[in-house]
Each structure stands twice: as C-alpha cells, then as structure tokens.
Amino acid sequence: MNTRLKQLMKELGEAINGSLSESEQIARVISKIKEEGFDVFLVLEATVGFNRHDEEAVDAPPELVGTRKKNGEPEFSINAHDVRFLKSLRISVDDAS
C-alpha cells in the first residue's frame, strides 16, 4: 500500500472518530445511560475497501441491479469484492446455483 493511501486512510479514521466524539446526539444518549447507573464502552468497527479504478470499468456503463431476464427471474451476480465483504460479515457464499 502506498504512503499517500496510508495517509488518507489515517485521515479518514480521524475524521470518523472526530465526527463521533463531537456528536451532541451521541453525547446525550451516553449521558442518559450513565444517569441510569451504567458505564459505557463504545467500540465501533468499520470495514473500508479500496479499489483502483480501471480504465475499462470507467468507460463501461453501470449495470442495473434490478433488471430481469425475459423469463421474469431476477438476475443475480456476485464478484470477488462482494464475497470479501460478505466474509467480513461472517456470511458464507455457496457457489452452487
């Protein structure tokens, strides 16, 4: 991973953290929980993926997800990025179809 991308990832993490820590709504709810006599531990996990743009992909028209074949059956396709995302959610994908 190049240095510039690492720096941008760090900035993204800091921006997300800053947004959460400055949120008045989050602070209010945490305060209410503490008033009820509980300690609050907030741990969030974010999965961020990066793909380098391919020239071919930029020129290709976007594919509509909701298109149907002539027989009325919905068309379903899944790519490697989808599989990685689903695995990160602990969802397995069977190749049988």
Classify residue 96: in a domain, yes or no.
no
pLDDT higher than 50, residue 16? yes
For 39-91, give the secondary structure using H, E and C: CCCCCCCCCCCCCCCCHHHHHCCCCCCCCECCCCCECCCCCHHHHHHHHHCCC
Classify residue 41: in a domain, yes or no.
yes
pLDDT higher than 60, residue 7? yes
Q: pLDDT (tens digit, 9 = 90+) per residue, 23-62?
A: 999 899 999 999 999 998 888 777 777 777 765 555 556 5
Classify residue 95: in a domain, yes or no.
no
Q: pLDDT (tens digit, 9 = 90+) per residue, 62-81?
A: 555 555 556 666 667 778 88
Domain that holds residue 7: 3-88
